[in-house]
């Protein structure tokens, strides 16, 4: 392998894979993923989003686009992975998942090799890959979360959100051995309420499960964010001085400045190997 290829592979292995997930729908997950990607890109990072919210894939719409191709077209041989990746904003790229993400564990050996080869050949390595999962504990959601280096669980003050978040953490811990989770509180009045929500979830998790929860931050209830989301706009673009914009920027800075404990999981190549079941 040439020195150039070795350097490129080294950079690709440093791609940090982060799943953004929730036990319950309607917690603002896709909105956060889109704005967080923009925040990271504004810091100078290259970000790749995988839209894995099956049946509700809408990340492209958040950026004012409508994509035509998904992972399904890669698996069928109609398109290459490089061809379906869309640059939705400067330094923000999207892999439209659609229903193609579902069932990746069941694809045949040839398709697995083809997909992994195309992942390894992607041009211009990324600093981050953000995975927008569906909500709940379906198999595809569990696989996406277990394959990522870091799992970020979104919760709100709604009791059902906390109950479902705990259920998701429990299943990932029992079935996949996941023991470390990050938590972001959304739709809270202030940090005091955010910490209260986090402690309620953390207390139950520590009492009944052997897991570690890390408080990452919060996003306040913000009418500007609601208006932007309803208009299919990013709050960072439509109102960069809004309270939610400030909170999302803070979350982006925490993510980019956070050095996790060394884990066995690698970067983007490892994520895809785990997802299709060859690792």
CB atoms within 10 A of CB 1: 7
Q: Give me the phi and psi of 13, to 5 degrees please.
A: -65, -20
Question: Quick one: which of 154, 122, 143, 144 has its CA closest to 35?
Answer: 154
Residue with tokens 């992972």: 71
- The CATH code for residues 3-258 is 3.40.50.300
Please state the pTM of the whole predicted model.
0.91
d(CA 170, CA 168): 5
For the chain, domain boundaries = 3-258
Each residue's pLDDT, cut to its tens digit, for the chain (279 residues) gives: 444 444 444 444 589 999 999 998 888 999 999 999 999 999 999 999 999 876 666 899 899 888 889 888 898 899 999 999 999 999 999 998 866 676 777 788 998 999 999 998 887 789 999 999 989 998 889 999 999 999 999 999 999 999 999 999 999 999 999 999 999 999 999 999 999 999 999 999 999 999 999 999 999 999 999 999 999 899 999 999 999 999 999 999 988 775 554 455 778 999 999 888 865
Could you say which DSSP state residue 262 is in? P
Q: Contact at 8 Å (CB) between 181 and 220?
A: no
Q: Give me the phi and psi of 17, to 5 degrees please.
A: -100, 125
The CA-based diameter of the chain, rounded to the nearest angstrom, is 55
Q: Contact at 8 Å (CB) between 157 and 187?
A: yes
Q: Give me the phi and psi of 20, to 5 degrees please.
A: -110, 120
- Give the H or E element holding residue 118: helix 109-120
């Amino acid at each position: 392998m040439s020195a150039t290829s070795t350097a490129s592979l080294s950079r690709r292995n440093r791609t940090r894979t982060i799943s953004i997930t929730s036990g319950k729908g309607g917690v603002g997950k896709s909105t956060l993923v889109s704005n967080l990607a923009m925040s990271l890109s504004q810091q100078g990072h290259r970000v790749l989003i995988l839209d894995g919210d099956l049946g509700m894939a809408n990340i492209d719409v958040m950026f004012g686009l409508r994509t035509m191709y998904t992972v399904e077209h890669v698996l069928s041989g109609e398109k290459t992975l490089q061809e379906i990746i869309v640059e939705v904003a400067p330094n923000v790229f999207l892999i439209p998942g659609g229903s193609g993400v579902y069932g990746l564990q069941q694809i045949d050996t040839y398709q697995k090799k083809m997909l992994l080869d195309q992942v390894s050949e992607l041009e211009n390595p990324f600093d981050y890959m953000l995975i927008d999962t569906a909500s709940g504990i379906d198999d595809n959601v569990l696989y996406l979360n277990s394959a990522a280096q870091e799992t970020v669980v979104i919760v709100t003050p709604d009791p059902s959100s906390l109950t479902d978040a705990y259920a998701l953490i429990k299943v990932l811990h029992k079935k996949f051995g996941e023991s470390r989770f990050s938590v972001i509180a959304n739709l809270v009045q202030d940090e005091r309420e955010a910490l209260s929500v986090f402690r309620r979830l953390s207390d139950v998790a520590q009492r009944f499960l052997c897991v570690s929860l890390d408080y990452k931050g919060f996003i306040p209830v913000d009418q500007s964010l609601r208006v932007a989301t309803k208009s299919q706009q990013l709050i960072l673009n439509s109102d960069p001085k809004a309270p939610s914009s400030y909170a999302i920027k803070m979350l982006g800075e925490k993510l980019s400045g956070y050095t996790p404990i060394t884990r066995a999981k690698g970067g983007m190549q490892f994520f895809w190997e785990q997802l299709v079941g060859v690792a």
